[in-house]
Amino acid sequence: MPQQGDHGRGDTGRPGGRTRGARRDSGRRQWAWIGAVALLVVAVVTAVVLVRPPDHHDDRTITARRTAAAAFPGGLAQQPVQDNQAGRREADARAAGDTSTAGRLAVIADQPVATWLTDPDETATRQVVRRVVRDARQQGRTPVFVLYAIPDRDCGSYSKGGTAERDYLPWVRSAVRAMAGSHAVVLVEPDSIAQIHVCERLGADRLHLLRQAVDELTGRGLTVYLDGGNEDRVPVATMARWLRQAGVDRVQGFATNVSNFYRVDQERAYADRLADAIGGDPHFVVDVSRNGQGWRGTWCNPEGAGLGQPPHVTRGTTRLDALLWVKTPGLSDGTCNGGPAAGQWWESYALDLVANRRQD
């Protein structure tokens, strides 16, 4: 080796050669040791970089989002006569000769409204789904369904109920089979995620159950939105984390303001913040069925509420896919402020919503 040859020459021929050679040899060994340590440090750093856990965004598989037009082909379908609650009351009023009431109820009946699936009975649910899908196909438009039968629904409050724990996924599976390939829009369990914030017993089990429901809903020719709460309910970072756990990366996005009263500008601003926090550009829809007068101080049958703007699909230039009438105007929120049981028709309230509707 070169170092060995240099060492031999420096060790002979003149006094002191061995001492100087020893010093040179010691210095070279010191530099070799330093070089070896440096190489080891580089190797360790490289290994750490290669094996460090990826950023939480790096390992996510995110579905391709559809355009608004692709999510709602043909636009929004109206409900069949049998499922149009305002339409049935309008017909009753006309039959009784009350054209004034009939004309006001027609303001609700003439708009496309989502169909809620709340009956734990699988056979009854399939019948509703098939009827709505068949009617929407005849219109050449898109039906909107709301799944609302999750176990411990509404955390025991006004809309309590739902399926038994063991029956929920078979119920979802049955409903999905009836709507598969229909291009229907499905809103999954309003309140189911946001309510975790105040009903701690729901917790991780609820999110796991929703993720399993997403498994049943994806790949079936449907457009799916999860529960996104509303702008004054759950901190954005928390809601984003819960939505990711529930499987939002695998669906079109989330729905906000369902059965609530916040203005569109408020909800859009909230939904955009939430979409940014989730990452992956999820889209969203907003319920505008009763927000024509904005927030009225309570979510439960507030006085002075009015119909919002007519439901419609957007032009698709933003993440907002559609403004929907998700809640059926005229159905009670519960036995509060003089209302009947949750989900029951309350005609005087329906007429007030028409009287106070947004006019622009």
Write out pLDDT tens, residues 149-161: 999 999 999 999 9
pLDDT at 94 over 70: yes
Catalytic center residues: 154, 191, 333
Torsion of CA 334, 335, 341, 345, to 10 degrees: -80
Q: What is the pLDDT of residues 133-147, one digit of tens each?
A: 999 999 999 999 999
User: 51: pLDDT confidence band, cut at 50, 70 and 90?
Assistant: very low
Q: What is the pLDDT of residues 184-198, one digit of tens each?
A: 999 999 999 999 999
Residue 322 in contact with residue 76, Cβ under 8 Å?
A: yes
Instruction: Taking residues 169-178, report their average pLDDT.
Output: 98
Residue at token pair 């439960």: 300
Average the pLDDT over each of 6-20, 84-98, 319-333 and give the range with the smallest value.
Answer: 6-20
208 Rama class: left (phi>0) / alpha (psi -120 to 50) / beta: alpha
Q: How far apart are CA 192 and CA 229, in angstroms?
A: 9
Position with higher pLDDT, 20 vs 213:
213
pTM score: 0.84
- Identify the pLDDT of residue 169: 98
Q: How far apart are CA 105 and CA 125, in angstroms?
A: 26
pLDDT at 115 over 60: yes
Q: How far apart are CA 190 and CA 332, in angstroms?
A: 16
User: 3: pLDDT confidence band, cut at 50, 70 and 90?
Assistant: very low
Cross-strand pairs, 323: 286, 312
Position with higher pLDDT, 30 vs 177:
177
pLDDT at 43 over 90: no
User: 200: pLDDT confidence band, cut at 50, 70 and 90?
Assistant: confident
pLDDT above 70 covers what percent of the chain? Answer: 84
pLDDT at 27 over 70: no
Q: How far apart are CA 296 and CA 133, in angstroms?
A: 35
What tokens were used for 53?
Answer: 């856990």
pLDDT at 108 over 60: yes
pLDDT at 88 over 70: yes
Cross-strand pairs, 146: 116, 187
pLDDT at 346 over 90: yes
- Identify the pLDDT of residue 359: 81
Number of other residues whose CB lies within 10 A of the CB of residue 106: 18
* Mean pLDDT, the chain, whole residue set: 88
Position with higher pLDDT, 111 vs 51:
111
Q: What is the pLDDT of residues 221-274, one digit of tens each?
A: 999 999 999 998 999 999 999 999 999 999 999 999 999 999 999 999 999 999
Does domain 68-355 bear CATH number 3.20.20.40?
yes
Domain ranges of the chain: 2-51, 68-355
